[in-house]
Chain A
Amino acid sequence: MRWRIAVMLTVVMLVVYFGFIALTALGKGLMGTLLASGLSVGMLLGALVIVSAFALTGIYVRWANVRYDPELHQIRQALSNERDSRTGGTP
C-alpha cells in the first residue's frame, strides 16, 4: 500500500521536473516572457518547482502520519496477538 502512494508521488515529481526541463529546452520564448519587470515565467516556474518538491514531501509525511502509520500499528498488533495466542499468551 505504501508503494502505490510512493510511486504516484514519484511520478508527479518526475512530470513537474521534466515538464520544467522541456519548457526550458523547447519553450525559450515562453520562459523568457516577463510577467512583471524583473520576473519571467521561467524564474517563477523554477521557484515553484523547488516549492513543489518540498510540498510533495510534506504531503507524503502527512499521509504517512495519518493513514499509513496507524495501519502499520494495527498490523503489528494483530501479528503480536497471533504470536501470543500461538504460544499460549506468554509474554
Chain B
Amino acid sequence: MNPAVVVEPSATAIGFFFAFVAATLGITYWAARRTRTTSEYFAAAGRITAGQNGFALAGDYMSAASFLGIAGMVSLSGFDGLIYSVGFLVGWPLVMFLVAEPLRNLGKFTFADVVAARLRQRPVRIAAALGSLSVVSFYLIAQMVGAGDLIRTMFGLSYETAVLVVGAVMIAYVLFGGMIATTWVQIIKAGLLLTGATMLALLVLVRFGMNPVALFDEAARRYGGMLAPGKLVANPLDTVSLGLALMLGTAGLPHILMRFYTVPDAQAARRSVFYATGLIGFFYLVTFILGFGASVIVGQETIAAAGKGGNMAALLLAQAVGGKSLLGFISAVAFATILAVVAGLTLSGAAALSHDLWVSVVRKGEAREKEQLAVARGATLFLGVVAVVLGLSFKGQNVAFMVGLAFAIAASANLPALLMSLLWRGFTTAGAVASMVTGSISSIGLIALSSTVQVDILHKASAIFPLKNPGIVSIPLAFAVGAVVSWLAPDGDDQAKFLEIQRRTTLGSG
C-alpha cells in the first residue's frame, strides 16, 4: 500500500502548518530586534528562565524520530520500544549531575569553552569543533532526510521542496532571531508536541476505561510477545553499547549543552534540567501508550504496510481516533518538531564555527563584537545551506543509524574530554586533543565497519566490527587515550590553572 493513500495530505494540516510558521516568524521578527550582540545571538544574553529553558531543552531533544519512530517501534514490537525510550531519558540526570552547572559557571557559548578553560586554546578548540561539527552534521542529515520523507507524505510536496522549505524557514529563525527565536520556537514546539501527544493518548485510553493495562492486555491478546523482550535485544552486548551511547551521548550533544548558557546562573541551569527530565519522561510514557494504541486500533498490518519501521503509526492513530482535523494537527506538530530541532543544531554548529574556530583560533580571541556577530550569522547561513545540500544528497538513503552515530560521537568525542578537564588536575592539552580526535574517529570508523553500514547499506555478507553501535568500544577508548597521553607527557602549565578553574566551576565567574 502506498503511504500517501493511507494518510492523505489535508487542508487542515497545511492550515495548522501555516499558522505555526506565521506565528514563529512573527516571534523571529520580535527576537531579531532584541539580537544586537553575540551574547544575545548565541545565548539570549542569559535571560531565559529555568522553566522556559526546561521546555526549550525538551523541545530541542524530542525529535520527530523519537515521536514517530518510537511510537512506531512500540506499535510493532511492544516492549522493545520501551528500551529506546528509557535509553533516551536516562542521560538527563547525568546532564544535571555532571555538566549543567560547571558549564554555566565556566563557559560562554560552547562546551569547548569549558575544556579549553585551563588548557591551550587553539588545539583544544580545533579538536572540539571537529567533534561538535560531526555530531551536528550526522544529526542534521537524519533530521533533514526524515523531514523530506515525512512532509512529502503529509503535505503532498516533493521531497526536494520539503527539504528546501524546512531549510529556508529554519535559516530565517536562526539567522535573524538567533538563540532568542530558537528558544521560543522550541518552547512552542514542546508545548504543541506534549499537548498533541497527550490528547491522542487520552482519546486512546478513553476506549479502555482510562486504564493503560487494559490496553496492553488487548494488544498482547491480539499479537502476543508484546510485553516481553523480543528480537531487538538479540545481542546483549549490542544493547549495552547502544545504551551507553544514548546515556552518555545526551550529556555531550552540543545543541543541548549550549542551552545552559541561556539561563542566568547555575541554579537555573540545574532547575531547567529537572523540568526537562519531567517533560521528556512524561512524553515517552505517553508515546508508549500511543504505540500500543496504534497496534490495537489501527492494526499492525496496516502500520507495517504504511511505512518502514512503523513510522506512520502515530499519524494513522490520529486519523483513526480524531479524524482529519486531528491528523492535520499532529502532522503540523511533527513538522514543527523537525524545524525546532534543526534550528537548535544549526545554531550550535554555528557557535562551533564562529566562536571556537574563527574568534578563538583564527583571531586568537581578538575579534571585535561587530565582527563576531557578522561571522556568527555567516556561519549560520553556511550551515543552513549545508543542511539543505546534505538533505538533498542523502535522498532515499537509509539514515536512521545516523542519530545513533551522532549520540556515539557525542559520548566519545565530547563527554570524556569535558569530564576529565573538570575533574582531573593531571589532564593536559595533548590528552584532551587525543581523546577528542580518538573519540570522533573511532566512533565514525567503527560504524563504517559495522553491519549497520556494511550489511544494511552496502549489502555485504558480513561486517568486520560485530556490533551495531560503537559506544562500548569508542567511549572507554576516548577516556583511556586522554588519560594515557596526559600521563606520558605531564604539562605544568595545564595543571597550574586547575585550582582557579575549580573555584570558578563552583562559584561562577562573579
Real binding pair: yes
Q: State the A residues within 8 Å of B (CB).
A: 2-3, 5-7, 9-10, 13-14, 16-18, 20-22, 24-26, 28, 31-32, 34, 36-40, 42-43, 46-47, 49-51, 53-54, 56-58, 60-61, 64, 69, 72, 75-76, 79
Contact B97 A37 (CB under 8 A): no
B92 CB contacts on chain A under 8 angstroms: 53, 57
* Most interface-central of B86, B271, B278 (chain A CB within 10 A): B86
Closest to B234 in A: A25
| A-B contacts, 25 listed (Cβ < 8 Å) | A3-B423, A6-B97, A13-B97, A17-B86, A17-B90, A24-B83, A24-B233, A28-B228, A32-B227, A37-B220, A38-B217, A39-B216, A42-B227, A42-B228, A43-B216, A49-B90, A50-B89, A57-B96, A57-B277, A60-B93, A60-B96, A61-B271, A61-B274, A64-B267, A72-B506
> Which residue in A38, A46, A58, A61 is a CB contact (below 8 Å) of B86?
A46
Contact B506 A50 (CB under 8 A): no
Contact A10 B97 (CB under 8 A): yes
A83 to chain B, nearest CB (A): 13
Interface residues on B, range: 35 or more
Contact B507 A75 (CB under 8 A): yes
Per-position 1/0 for B401-413, Cβ under 8 A of A: 0000000000000
B378-428 with Cβ < 8 A to chain A: 423
Q: A20-B86, A32-B227 are in contact. Are A57 and B274 (CB under 8 A)?
A: yes
Q: A10-B98, A53-B89 are in contact. Are A38 and B215 (CB under 8 A)?
A: yes
Contact B86 A25 (CB under 8 A): no
Per-position 1/0 for B205-249, Cβ under 8 A of A: 000000001111110100000011100010010011001000100
B199 at the interface (CB under 8 A from A): no
Total A-B pairs, Cβ < 8 A? 131
Q: State the B residues within 8 Å of A (CB).
A: 79, 82-83, 85-87, 89-90, 92-94, 96-98, 101, 213-218, 220, 227-229, 233, 236, 239-240, 243, 247, 267, 270-271, 273-274, 277-278, 281, 284-285, 288, 423, 506-507
Contact B236 A60 (CB under 8 A): no
CA distance A32 to B97 in the complex (A): 33
A22 CB contacts on chain B under 8 angstroms: 236
CA distance A17 to B227 in the complex (A): 19
> Which residue in B214, B271, B278, B288 is a CB contact (below 8 Å) of A54?
B278
B98 CB contacts on chain A under 8 angstroms: 6, 10
A34 CB contacts on chain B under 8 angstroms: 227
Contact B239 A54 (CB under 8 A): no
Closest to B271 in A: A61
